[in-house]
Structure formats: C-alpha cells, structure tokens
C-alpha cells in the first residue's frame, strides 16, 4: 500500500487493461478497459500520466533493455513499432483481439464512437495504430471487449470449445524432481496430500484438531477488492465483511446469528460478528476477503508535513492476513507457505472460536 507513495499508480478507472472470465463461462470473451477519467497523478516530462507502466518503461529504457523504446515491437510485415507509452502496448493488444479468430470484428461506426464516449480515446487510437486497425479497435472499446455469442459455448449437450488434446495423467518431468527442503520426490500423477508445513509434517500433527477444531478459509467479496476499497458507496452497501459459520457449529458453540466472537489462530486473534449460513461446510470459518485494510487510504500519512486524506471506513471489518502465522518448522522465521508452489497459505488455517 505504501508503494503508491514511491511509484504513484493509476486507479482502474484511469487505466487501460484486459480481463477474461474464469472457466465457468463457456463462450470466449475478453473485456477491454480504457480510461474513463483523466488520471489524477502528475505528468512525466513527455506528458504521460505517472503510472506503473510509465515507470517500468522508463526504467527499461534507462537500462537499455531490449523490447522497449522506438523500435521495440516487430509486426508480421517486419515493420518496427515503438513501446514508449502504455497506449503503445494496450492498443496493440486490442488490435490483436480485434483480428483474432476466423473473422475480425467490424469497424465501429460514428454512432458507436459517439454514444460510448470512445471519441475521447480515438486520437490515441489513430496516433498509435495502422489505418485498418483503428475502426476495429474502436469497435472493441465501444463494446467493452470482444464476446463470442453465448450459444457458442455449447454444442447440443457438450462444451463447444472442447479440449481436443490428450489428458496427461502422468508427468515425467514432475516425477523427476524432489522437494527442495525435504528431498521427497514429487508424484508424477495426481495425488492427495494433507496440508503440510515446510518439513513435510502434516499441519494437524503440529496443531492438533482437539486444540484447533476449525479451519479458516477466505472467499472473494461481491463488493470489495483492492481497487474498490476506497469507494464510499460500496461501504454504505456492506460496511463490514461477512464472517460465516455453519449452523451446526453455531449450535455446537452456543452461537446465534449476529453474535460477536473472538477468532484465534496460532498467529493472532480478531473480533468479528458471526453469520450462520448453511453454505459453509461444518468445521469451517469463512471470511469474506477485501476488508480490514490498514493502508490503501485507511491510515493518515504526511508528506513534507502535509497530512494526506484518508478514510477510516476502509479499516472496517477483519483481514485474514492478521490471522496468518509463522511456520514453526522453519529455521528462519517465515510465513506458512504452500508445500509445492511456495505461495502464502490462506486456506485451511487452524483456528478456534470463543463467544464474547
């Protein structure tokens, strides 16, 4: 969160970007984001908004890294194209999307451009892209992306975009490697392991279920994320996050819907209001992610003695990160990391609960 004071970045409403839906959407789709408001950050010497893209490109050019500068990109005809600005990258990605598949999208007409506000970015599109790309990229942005027909995701009762390659059950490359800490050989085929610490010991051996009877998980919020935490209206809709327990566990611990409890893990404790929901598996505490920030505008800071704006509401709710703990089997203190991937573990944390 403090990084914005070192390299100021743009908000998602001020920036370019692309996203694709997860696997639950059967038809092909890609969204396209473009700046709907002018960035509030300062401008660089050549007029660009200060952003992570501008910073990375400037550093790469100063280091004379290949792939940046006036002759960074080569098109299929062998022409060299620049990569000096965020638009040089994102607008060409949009052009690739526009021409993908059997048939490219149609060029946008004047009505498309005017009604959707794409006219504001049309000068940048015209300055960056080739003539035959301009109208099609304008079409992409006027629709907010490119979306295949919904029925293209299915053929009768089968998936339309089928995976036609063989399913690889055995992976010899994985089987040839060993775990870097324990020396245990990895399995070359799918296999179940209990949640493990760095030395291979099962988490339930270190933190017995008798003492830590619950498992803590997180789930994504339908309102709050790192990019929406500063939006007051969303806090009005849901001021604090959902902390859910199965009704069977509620009866087990003498809890009613709305009771305040203390959630304890080997690494910390927080106070929360419990909701009893049948959608949560017995033995699990489910915490809605995206709340309880300490930074991101939640705490006031001063620059050169001038207090910066902040909003205490961003601190509302609890944050699963405050309940993480150090792996006791490591020689050097570090968080509990996934045994294979090395990612910080945030699912299945041992926990217990106390009514307040």
Least confident of 33-47, 152-166, 315-329: 152-166
Pairing of the two strands 69-74 and 17-19: unpaired
Let me know: does 66 contact 59? Beta carbons within 8 Å. Answer: no
Residue 295 has pLDDT above 70, yes or no: yes
In this predicted structure, the answer to whether residue 140 has a pLDDT above a threshold of 70 is yes
DSSP letter string over 65-124? -TT-EEEEEE-TTS-EEEE-SHHHHHHHHHHHHHH-SSSPPPPP-HHHHHHHTGGGTHHH
Residue 340, pLDDT score: 83
How many Å apart are CA 214 and CA 226, to the nearest integer? Answer: 27
Q: Is the CB of residue 239 less than 8 Å from the CB of residue 313?
A: yes
Q: For the packed helices 86-99 and 52-62, what is the interaxial angle rounded to 10 degrees?
A: 110
Average pLDDT over residues 295-310: 90
User: Domains of the chain by range and CATH?
Assistant: 2-152 (no CATH), 203-355 (2.40.40.20)
Task: Lowest mean pLDDT of 1-10, 14-23, 309-318, name the range.
Answer: 1-10
* pLDDT tops 90 at residue 141: yes
pLDDT, one tens digit per residue, over 184-224 is: 999 999 999 999 999 999 999 999 999 999 999 999 999 99
* 0.75 surpassed by pTM: no
pLDDT at position 4 over 70: no
User: Interior CA angle at 325 toward 321 and 329, to 5°?
Assistant: 150
CB 26 within 8 A of CB 153: yes
Taking the C-alpha atoms of residue 85 and residue 288, their distance in angstroms, rounded to an integer, is 37
pLDDT at 310: 92
pLDDT tens per residue, range 219-275: 999 999 877 888 899 999 999 999 999 999 999 999 999 999 999 999 999 999 999
From the CB of residue 139, how many other CB atoms can be counted at a distance below 10 Å?
A: 22
pLDDT tens-digit series, residues 49-94: 999 999 999 999 999 999 999 999 999 899 999 999 999 999 999 9
């Amino acid at each position: 969160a403090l990084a914005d004071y070192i390299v100021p970045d743009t908000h998602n409403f001020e920036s370019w970007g692309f996203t694709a839906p997860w696997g639950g959407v059967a038809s092909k789709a890609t969204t396209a984001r473009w700046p709907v408001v002018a960035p509030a950050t300062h401008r660089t010497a050549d007029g660009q908004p200060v952003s992570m893209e501008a910073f990375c490109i400037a550093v790469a050019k100063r280091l004379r890294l290949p792939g940046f500068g006036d002759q960074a990109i080569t098109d299929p005809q062998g022409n060299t194209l620049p990569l000096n600005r965020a638009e040089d990258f994102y607008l060409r990605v949009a052009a690739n999307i526009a021409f993908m598949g059997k048939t490219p999208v149609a060029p946008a007409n004047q009505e498309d451009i005017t009604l959707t506000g794409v006219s504001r970015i049309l000068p940048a599109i015209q300055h960056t892209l080739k003539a035959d790309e301009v109208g099609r990229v304008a079409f992409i942005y006027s629709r907010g992306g490119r979306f295949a027909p919904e029925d293209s995701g299915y053929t009768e009762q089968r998936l339309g975009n089928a995976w036609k390659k063989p399913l690889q059950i055995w992976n010899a490359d994985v089987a040839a490697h060993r775990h870097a800490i324990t020396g245990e050989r990895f399995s070359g085929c799918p296999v179940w392991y209990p949640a493990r610490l760095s030395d291979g010991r099962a988490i339930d051996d270190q933190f017995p279920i008798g003492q830590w009877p619950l498992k803590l998980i997180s789930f994504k919020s339908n309102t709050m994320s790192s990019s929406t935490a500063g939006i007051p209206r969303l806090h009005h809709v849901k001021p604090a996050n959902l902390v859910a327990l199965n009704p069977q566990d509620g009866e087990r611990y003498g809890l009613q819907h709305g009771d305040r409890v203390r959630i304890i893990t080997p690494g910390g404790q927080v106070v929360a209001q419990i909701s009893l929901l049948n959608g949560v598996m017995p033995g699990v505490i489910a915490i809605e992610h995206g709340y309880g920030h300490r930074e991101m505008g939640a705490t006031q800071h001063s620059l050169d003695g001038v207090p910066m704006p902040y909003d205490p509401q961003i601190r509302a709710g609890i944050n699963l990160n405050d309940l993480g703990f150090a792996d006791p089997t490591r020689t050097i203190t570090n968080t509990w990391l996934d045994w294979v991937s090395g990612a910080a573990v945030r699912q299945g944390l041992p926990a217990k609960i106390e009514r307040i």
